[in-house]
Structure 1
Amino acid sequence: MELDNIERLLEKYFDATTTVAEEKTLLTYFSQESVATHLEQYKPMFTYFSNAKEEKYTKQVPLKPRKNYYKWISVAAVALFIFGIYFGNEYQEKREAEYAYQETKKAFELLAENFGRGTEKVAYLKEFEVAKQKIYNNN
């Protein structure tokens, strides 16, 4: 009868539905010398559980708080990111202004070149006008 009870308690134990009193019964049964042969495989597990209750942690726990460097690293990363955005935009605007200046300079050079050609043509017109005046004055 007791063996049937132990097997039933083992099933409940592995289903995690046993009470504290039932677990004590299992610990008591498996701490005996004579255990049923088909239940021998569970004896080391329950022996370990009873021995584990006796163990105590004897080391000193350091109570110094750990320094949290992650917070400062994240603050530095955000600051670096904002610094990069600010000066990156300034650099980009400077490059755009330089590009606009270069393009304007090219346009003025082209305009000056064409204006120079135009003044050459005006000089020919002046000579033509002088020649025309000579012709009209002779007639």
Structure 2
Amino acid sequence: MELDKIEILLENYFRGDTSVAEEIELKNYFSSLNVAQHLEQYKPIFGYFSLTKEQKIPLKSIKQNRMWLSIAASIVVLLGITTFTYVNYFNASQDQNLGTYHNPEIAFRETQRALSMLSSQVNVGIGSVQYIQEYNNSKNLIFK
């Protein structure tokens, strides 16, 4: 009778339908000496669970690891802030050449050249608008 009950519990265990009390009963059965021959293959599973439960993890090493991890994280944050500050403030002060001219004649020539280039690009755009205007006029003549 007990063997049938263990087999049913084992099937429920592998389906995930057992309660904690039933799992303790299975663990107690498989840790005893009188395990049925055809169920011997499941003995290491429940033996492993009881073995790992007895192992202790030293908490001191975890606390030390957290301490070193927090120190390392602080150093990384400080390096990041230092790098950001250096790149944005110290390099920005070195790039003060804003394209200004001290000689007014050179500034005038460069301004004329820039406005000429801008004018040529605007003229290309106006030519495209004239094509659209001609299209609209033709469309209005046809659909009136």
TM-score category of the 2 structures, normalised to the smaller one: 0.5 to 0.7
Report the counterpart of residue 100 of structure 2 in structure 1: 97
TM-score (norm 1): 0.54
1:25 Cα deviation after fit:
0.5
Give the distance between the partners of 1:97 and 1:105, measured in 2 at CA.
8
State the percentage of identical aligned residues: 36
Mind listing any 5+ residue stretches in structure 2 that lack a counterpart? 110-144
1:21 Cα deviation after fit:
0.9
Describe how 1:1-139 pairs up with structure 2 within 5 A.
1-58=1-58, 60-61=60-61, 62=63, 65-66=67-68, 67=71, 68-83=74-89, 86-87=92-93, 89-91=95-97, 93=98, 96-97=99-100, 104=106
3-state SS of 1:65 partner: helix
Larger Rg: 1
Give the distance between the partners of 2:55 and 2:5, measured in 1 at CA.
30
Give the distance between the partners of 1:78 and 1:57, measured in 2 at CA.
41
TM-score (norm 2): 0.53
Give the distance between the partners of 2:15 and 2:105, measured in 1 at CA.
82
Report the counterpart of residue 115 of structure 1 in structure 2: none
Give the distance between the partners of 2:105 and 2:10, measured in 1 at CA.
89
Q: Deviations over 1:69-97 (max 9, x none)?
A: 12212211221231266236524x1xx22
Give the distance between the partners of 1:12 and 1:88, measured in 2 at CA.
74
Q: Which amino acid aligns with 2:106?
A: T
Distance 1:43 1:103, change over 3 A: farther
- Number of equivalenced pairs: 103
Give the distance between the partners of 1:101 and 1:4, measured in 2 at CA.
104
